[in-house]
Amino acid sequence: MSLLLDNQFKELPPDKSVDTKLFLDTVSHIPAFFDCLGSTVFSVIKSDINGNITKIRGVYMKDPAKYVTLQDILVAEREAHAAEWPKVGATLALMWLKRGLRFIQILLQSLADGDRDENNPNLIQVNVTKAYQEALKKYHGWFVQRIFQAALHAAPYRSNFLKALSKGEEVKEEDCLANVRQFLVNYTATIDAIYDMYTDLNAELDYTV
């Protein structure tokens, strides 16, 4: 089901630059993650994220030799679209994509850390809410926040979610969480590097949708 854990991110080089092609190839497996949330309506989120990836890939493909790293893209777009930047092109797409990736990261980390509601140990609302608050909430107006509250009720059970992460195989919970922890190492480092890049280039925006 989820190919998430099968497609590990690569270790970053010492300068923390993110190789565009490697990033795109690995991140394109992420949207399938939303299938393991169960309901087909999560396809809305899947297609938002897919749209971000398509936008970034479109820019990259125009000149792969020029856009070797993600930073190359942001810097080139800053020059080309001075007036609108950073609310433009792949810079905007990656700005949102990284938030979705951060949401997934925090959700998985929270599960791996064993955060849970002791009264409802098989629910993941507490983990999903934590991820939402840290990664997305401040970029959502009251309306989308309300949609999130409604969507939260459709979150899968913890056991089903972990099973889906293991492609539906009966894996021991501890083994699945060990895989998650392994996955998180380079995944988290990559996302952190992208966030740092947005800070360094002063490319982050905080408007709400």
**Helix, strand or coil, per DSSP, at residue 95:** helix
Task: Give which of a second copy, ligand EIS, none residue 83 binds (C-beta under 5 to 8 Å, depending on kind).
Answer: none
Measuring CA to CA, which residue among 23, 34, 46, 39 is closest to residue 1? 34
| Shortest Å distance, C-beta 97 to ligand EIS | 7
DSSP-assigned beta bridge partners for residue 69: 19
> Tokens in use for 172?
């021991």
Shortest CB 91 distance to ligand EIS, Å: 9
Q: Which does 143 bind (CB under 5 to 8 A by kind): ligand EIS, a second copy, none?
A: a second copy
Q: Which residues bind a second copy (CB under 8 A)?
A: 39-41, 44, 47, 143-144, 146-147, 149-151, 153-154, 209
How far apart CA 124 and CA 116 sit, in angstroms, is 7
136 binds, among a second copy, ligand EIS, none (CB under 5 to 8 A by kind): ligand EIS
Instruction: Kindly state whether residue 2 participates in binding ligand EIS, applying the rule CB under 6 A.
Output: no
Q: Shortest distance, CB of residue 43 to a second copy, whole angstroms? A: 10
> What mask of x and - would describe binding to ligand EIS in positions 143 to 182, judged by CB under 6 A?
-x--xx--xx--x---------------------------
Contact indicator for 111, 105 with CB cutoff of 8 Å: no
- SS3 track for 63-123: CCCCCCEHHHHHHHHHHHCCCCCCCCHHHHHHHHHHHHHHHHHHHHHHHHCCCCCCCCCCE
Q: Mark the segment that binds ligand EIS (CB under 6 A) among 51-59, 73-81, 172-180, 195-203.
A: 51-59
Q: Locate 94 and state its tokens.
A: 């990656």
